[in-house]
Chains A and B, each alone.
Chain A
């Protein structure tokens, strides 16, 4: 095509400014694609580090207005045995775990520190945690150590831990679970409920977790507990489910991903402006030439095409190179920001490369439209006379 040929030659003739315009698109596409990949990898990695369970309904004492004016929460509000039984009735046949949770000082072979302690009925422990080593406690003196807590303190089944003034024996080590919304056992010690209530003198529970067998029942269970316990219009307990939190967090990170991509989009916008500028220059410089080709029989549409081709060549080359480089860019930001590239090869990450290329092409097409239109609609007589 003669018009494509002319576009190409003009780009080569003005190679430096064409190169700069292409560079703008390369950077723009790279920014969009790399930021998109980063955002998506971030979301993926956060979701993966959250414990995958979305099947818990968590009941905690309401921390609402009971505390009075000062906003002081009443820490002694707990879930009573009677309330636990109410929950049991509503939640059945799903598994339910009432538990204590607190923080205490510990000492292991002279090393001192503070650790989260959960008190759970040993029979119900398997509902919440998995063992990596050892066994579940059979006596009140037995405890389970969270994966990271065990690793940091070099605990093995058989190790002894002094908790406050009592000494307990670690009988099992837990699998690493990741951050959860019910309990966070990785950094904790799990003791039997009887041990906890004896040592800390606490009868009522801090939290009740219901594991819903069928995920579709989750709303029903949640609402059931809410109705049963928060009867008189006042919030005695707060009921929430882990799936909703997971959704909120995923959504939040999705928005962060969108935001980072939008930042990339700004640089593409700037690139679009530079294409516009280059094309306007190209049109202005070639007014006389446009007059010549119009007078010897080139139609408006053909002039339009010639200039559209020109911007599309710039955009196409830029977007192509940008697409290839954004793979490297995505790799680099993943390494720097996430210290891993394992999320780079997910389709949901890689899809940002064609996205970036497509947006780059659309931006150049839009930027080239007005200059091309202007060129096509020049008055041939005036254009011919132009010096």
Chain B
């Protein structure tokens, strides 16, 4: 598993892949506004492996959702791959997620109606708008990530947690994103499997992809090249 996992996306160089300038996120609730992020500024360069840490309610998930362009800031500017997300429409944000960002979730979040192979192909089909069946690219990635041919026709629920997370990683990589976003990637796995998955992410990072990971597990955070700790919506 020492081989290259594909080239990193554009932006490789001196330009930051993520840049936050005084970003705030305020949620309006009936009993008052909740400030989830308070004027956060942050720059992430291509090839970094970032661990975002902090207690629950500190704004980790909000920050991840913003970087993942699932949400836009209430205030401030957020640049993903040089793009100001506040200027993008919902469809453009969706395309950004599809083409530039790979998501890895704690609960794997594979599509239950699709089998393993189709799950990996799905983002590629979204991007190319073609019904590619049994593409070589998806197969290659799945093999490299450590799955066997006999697993490919199975539904996600028939695999173990570790295997599902491998499929999720393969799915996240299929469109050659610049950024990999991981939300507690080992949270649902035992320690040993968690280590295997972290090694895999480390490898992906070594191949040039920026990895941004939310975790509250200090052991997992040691894989990162930089730690960012949030408390009450602020970086400390």
Contacts and interface: CB of A to CB of B under 8 A. Distances in A.
Interface of A: 1-2, 6, 9-10, 13, 288-289, 292-302, 380-381, 384
A366 B126 CA distance: 27
Contacts of B70: 295, 380-381, 384
Of A10, A297, A298, A301, which is in contact with the most chain B CB atoms at under 10 Å from its CB? Answer: A297
9 contacts: A6-B113, A13-B113, A292-B111, A293-B111, A296-B171, A297-B175, A299-B94, A380-B70, A381-B70
Contact of B94 (A13, A288, A294, A381): A294
B38 to A, nearest CB: 19
Contacts of A288: 109
Contacts of A296: 97-98, 103, 122-123, 126, 171-172
Nearest to B98: A297
A292 B109 contact: yes
B111 A297 contact: no
A228 B229 CA distance: 107
Nearest to A4: B131
A302 B111 contact: no
Nearest to B91: A299
Contacts of B95: 297, 299
A297 B109 contact: no
A297 B71 contact: no
A299 B94 CA distance: 6
A290 to B, nearest CB: 10
Contacts of B114: 6, 9
Interface size on B, as a range, is 20 to 34
A258 B66 CA distance: 58
Contact of A295 (B99, B103, B175): B103
B153 interface: no
B184 to A, nearest CB: 13
B94 A297 contact: yes
B83 to A, nearest CB: 15
B111 to A, nearest CB: 6
Contacts of A297: 94-95, 97-99, 123, 126-127, 175
Given A2-B122, A2-B126, A6-B114, A300 B109 contact: no
B109 A2 contact: no
Contact of A10 (B105, B109, B113): B113
A298 B112 CA distance: 16
Nearest to B68: A295
B94 A1 contact: no
Nearest to A2: B125
Contacts of B172: 296
B67 to A, nearest CB: 12
Contacts of B68: 295
A10 B112 CA distance: 10
Interface string B85-112: 0000011001101110001010001111
A143 to B, nearest CB: 84
Contact of A384 (B99, B109, B113): B109
Given A294-B94, A295-B97, A380-B70, A289 B112 contact: yes
- 6 closest pairs, A vs B, by CB? A297-B98, A9-B113, A292-B109, A299-B94, A2-B125, A297-B97
Interface in B39-83: 65, 68, 70-71
